Amino acid sequence: MSDTDNKKKLTAADIAQLALTVVRAGAGDFSGLARQAVKWIKPILAFVGCFILIIVLLISMPLQMLGALLFPDTTTERGAFYDSEITNANIFAADFTRKEESRFKKSEQEAKNNVTLDQYSTWDSVFEVDIDFPPEDLLILYNVMFEEYDGKSIDFEKLGILEEDVIVRTSEIVVTYSTVIDDEGNEHTITHYLFTYTARLIPFTEMLTVLGLDEIQQERAMVMYRYLNDQDQSGTVGNDFGGYNLGNITYSDGAVNVVYFSQYDTRWKDTAYGRTGTIGRSGCGPTSLAIAISSLGGRTVLPTEVASWAAANGYYVEGAGSRHSLIPDGARHWGIPVKGVGYDWQAVVDALADGKLVIAIMGKGHFTSSGHFIVLRGVTSDGKILVADPASTKRSEQLWNASIITSEARKGASAGGAFWVLG
């Protein structure tokens, strides 16, 4: 028998077994490679996850700090601590005015010493002060500047440096002359001295630079600032106004016949509100106030008129929106009785049933993604609320459950809000 005959012939089964062995070996190699890959992927994913977490924390930190600063008691709409510190901040702000009066008297005396006053001269003085420091602004500045807020106490005396840095003061003497004839027919020249002293706060956004805050501190401050003000820079939820001239719409199904204006009306939506805003983007406050004034005051006051007055008198905050104090102060300016009732819903319902209007500042929800003023114009017998929303005719024509209005009313509103009764 030859050597060839001694060799075992390969059958089909042998070939299949060989192929299976090769495949298993390859699979083993692949499995090893996969295990090595997993070994390196895990730390990479962990690093990416940590990086994303850090970014999220950096973005959310200002709002978390704001929440801790303003709403430490989450079981109530506004914590007792917040109410206490707002009161203290108001006291501190009032002290600004008292100190400024002392500065005025001292400055006036110095000016008097430089002139000669006799029987042929007169002296008058004017003291013009606009340093009504919003308490929320003080809380924000304290938190950002000193970063030592512990949820228990705020040492407002540390903010005494603001007296020199954020108040612009001017004084001048204006001299005029007149003539008089005495009983003997002699003519005399009368010198009239008018001493004018003014003091005003610089805008909040300028304070951040003047106080030397760095970029991160300024950003934190503005996040808090926008949160506390209106605010509605990107439009409201579901704005349905098509950009045409509505004219004057009157709703008569509520307790009050309401003259309706839309902030998106083509007559004024692009009209400037302050230096950087427009009525369309940021003018829900002036528009809501115009609705109330026109409905209650016996004459039509357009949103443009209210916006112009608000901006000229410091009620518009560049990059943020209208101060909450625009509502009570603006109503008084136009002779409309107004009362802030806070979150007293019974007072709101009673006012609506009595034929009055209520302006509300709303938070995130059905009406806005940030902050938005609306007018409550009536209440039905079954407790449904009628509104006049300056950003939506659709929302203005439907009935709203009271629970939606109360739950979405802006928490931590200032100036007596979140509800103001007008009329």
Helix spans in 71-161 (H): 80-112, 135-146
Model confidence at 258: pLDDT above 80: yes
- 335 and 414 assigned to the same domain: yes
- 276 and 403 assigned to the same domain: yes
- 221 and 279 assigned to the same domain: no
Q: What residues make up the domain containing 192? A: 80-228
Lowest mean pLDDT among 20-24, 184-188, 338-342, 377-381: 20-24
- 220 and 92 assigned to the same domain: yes
Average pLDDT over residues 187-201: 91
Distance, CA of 302 to CA of 293 (rounded, Å): 9
In the three-class reduction of DSSP (H, G, I as helix; E, B as strand; rest coil), residue 63 is classed as helix
Model confidence at 78: pLDDT above 80: no
Distance, CA of 295 to CA of 290 (rounded, Å): 8
Six token digits for residue 82: 């917040």
Q: Number of folded domains in the chain? A: 2
Please identify which residue in the block is written with the tokens 């704005």. Answer: 239
Distance, CA of 225 to CA of 207 (rounded, Å): 12
Average pLDDT over residues 4-25: 46
Q: How far, CA to CA in Å, does 38 sit from each of 45, 52, 282, 414?
A: 10, 21, 52, 55
Model confidence at 94: pLDDT above 90: no
| pLDDT band at 20; cut points 50, 70, 90 | very low
Share of the chain above pLDDT 90, in %: 38
Model confidence at 209: pLDDT above 80: yes
- 191 and 254 assigned to the same domain: no
| pLDDT band at 37; cut points 50, 70, 90 | low
Choice between 94 and 384, residue whose per-residue pLDDT is larger: 384
Q: Rounded mean pLDDT of the chain?
A: 77
Lowest mean pLDDT among 48-57, 159-168, 177-186: 48-57
Residue 269 lies in a domain: yes
Distance, CA of 257 to CA of 235 (rounded, Å): 26
pLDDT at 227: 61
Contact 364, 370 (CB under 8 A): yes
Q: pTM for the complete prediction? A: 0.51
- 163 and 260 assigned to the same domain: no
Model confidence at 266: pLDDT above 50: yes
Lowest mean pLDDT among 142-156, 292-306, 356-370: 142-156
Contact 328, 322 (CB under 8 A): no
- 156 and 253 assigned to the same domain: no
79: Cβ–Cβ under 8 A, 6 or more apart, which residues? 71, 72, 73
Choice between 94 and 322, residue whose per-residue pLDDT is larger: 322
Q: What share of the chain is helix, strand, coil (3-state, %, to 5)?
A: 45, 20, 35
Distance, CA of 404 to CA of 402 (rounded, Å): 5
**Of the residues 170, 195, 228, which one is the last residue of a structural domain?**
228
| pLDDT band at 105; cut points 50, 70, 90 | very high
Choice between 363 and 373, residue whose per-residue pLDDT is larger: 373
